[in-house]
Structure 1
Amino acid sequence: MPAGTTVTYEVTTSPAPCVGTGATSNWPSDLDCSADSWQPLADYAGDAAEITGIRVTLDFTTTAAGTFAPGASVHFQYRTVNVPWQPGDVPTADAVVPRLNTGPSERAWNQVGVTAVLSTGGSLRRAPERVGVQLLVGSAAVEKTVSGLLSLAPSEVTADASCTVPAGDGATRVPVELGALATLTVPLPGTARLDGIPLGAQCELAESGDVGEFGEARRDPVGAQQVDILVAGSPSDAVPAAQLVTMENHYAPRVPATGSLSSTGVDSGQLIGFGSLVLAAFAAGAALLAIDRRRRARG
């Protein structure tokens, strides 16, 4: 910008600055967006996530020429970064937090408008096409199968789900707030879906509790399975095979455990003594049999 230009940076937390909430934009009738509440950026002490608009005013009357010359140029550049929402954050658009299990999130629209007050009177206004940002989402699913004695299987089981997405630093990961969807009810046999997961998330799905929680003799596999959400889709779309995990429960009759001698109610000393008597009786029977044979031989 020309040397001597006075620059003022302001911010607002109004829900829809300049645009308004009606069917038409407020900007044509309010070129400097004065209907919204603005404050100097240097004085703003709130959370950056609450800022919904930025206003930059360039005053050329303080330059040597006192005006912005025809054919001159001004360059103003700014950048915004979307990072995952975490508990305690105040999202500025629905695109930051997807509507889990209800389909894609809404678009967050962004646009830059420029207004110039002419030295000869009147004004000019220009605005490029608006740009929309939308967080793409996909789905995961848990499929449960059963084997063995199916009459022992319950009608449903539960599975635990947890998902993470990359944090703003690109190195760590932060959890996706699944709420009530962190526990899925899965019919046996059958499938349960988890929709509205941000694209790029990693999810772990595991049957709840330890082996035997639902009467099963074994699980295959045991423990959590991981899926990457790489294909966008809505609840009406089929879940991609790579985003579906299968878990099998095997049901079999329970075999009673063999107890120790102390659990039979019989004193071990008595049992050993009884066994000795049986052996003695058998030995006596053998002796009588031998004597009887000898007597027959003599006769």
Structure 2
Amino acid sequence: MSGFITELQQYQKKLNLTIEQEILNNEDISYRSKMVSFCILLLVLIISPIIILLVRNATFTIQNFAGNLVDKTIELRNEKKKSDRLLFEMLPPAVVMQLRQRRQVPAENFDSVTIYFSDIVGFTNISADSSPMEVVNMLNTLYKLFDSRIRKYDVYKVETIGDAYMVVSGLPQRNGILHAGEIATMSLDLLVGIEHFKIPHRPNDKLEIRVGINTGPCVAGVVGTTMPRYCLFGDTINTASRMESTGEAMKIHITEATKQSLEKLEDIYEIEIRGVMEIKVSDSPSSIIQGGAEVT
């Protein structure tokens, strides 16, 4: 029994040593875990403000970008409206929409339209006695007056070149038999406006214009790709130009076709027969007027 007790005591000592060693190992592991956790926590505490600051800066940058994007979008819309107005002044709205869709705009035949031509009487002499800037200022002032007045009528301004002013009714939107009346009333309105017009650099001189009108068929279409122009083709345009060139100052010179079209309307126009006149017309089957300049 004494030997058994002695052996048991030895095993008890070994067990105590083993337990103490295990406790020390666990304490070391626990200490290391605490140190690692403390380091991680310290790292998080150090990095968190930096992350928050970066997120705040990123949010502020995104907000500024969004605000700038909204401003740029508004500016883009305003610029688009300006470009649309410019395009609509150069080309009919229906043609502009087709060009935006990258569709080819085919030429279209119109059975009956009315063409208006006008120019300034004595423009060559006025230009000779004026500087280029004075001539440009005079034309700008005059055509601003014309443009403001023709907006009241169902007409389309084709173009102005020099002192020539060309307007058409009945295209690109057809208006039945009303085109002759629209052009006639517009012409009378322009004559009334020109009576009160004063040349900016020569206020004592009175400006006069000649007006020619013709009614008939024509073909209209877009010509060109880089700078597309809406052009009118046909002898109707050529004859209207001849009516203007052979007309009298402050008078509206019309053809028989225009007279017949006006007589179909309910509006009453005073028409004075001028008589038979020989008007030179192109010998070719068709003639082209592009922006008021005749090309045969």
Q: TM-score range by the shorter chain?
A: under 0.3
Q: Structure 2 length as normaliser, TM-score?
A: 0.25
Kindly indicate which of the two structures has a greater share of residues assigned to strand: 1
Tell me which of the two structures has the higher relative contact order, counting C-alpha pairs closer than 8 angstroms and 6 or more residues apart: 2
The structure whose residues are more often helix, as a share, is 2
Based on CA coordinates, which of the two structures has the bigger radius of gyration? 2
TM-score scaled by structure 1? 0.25
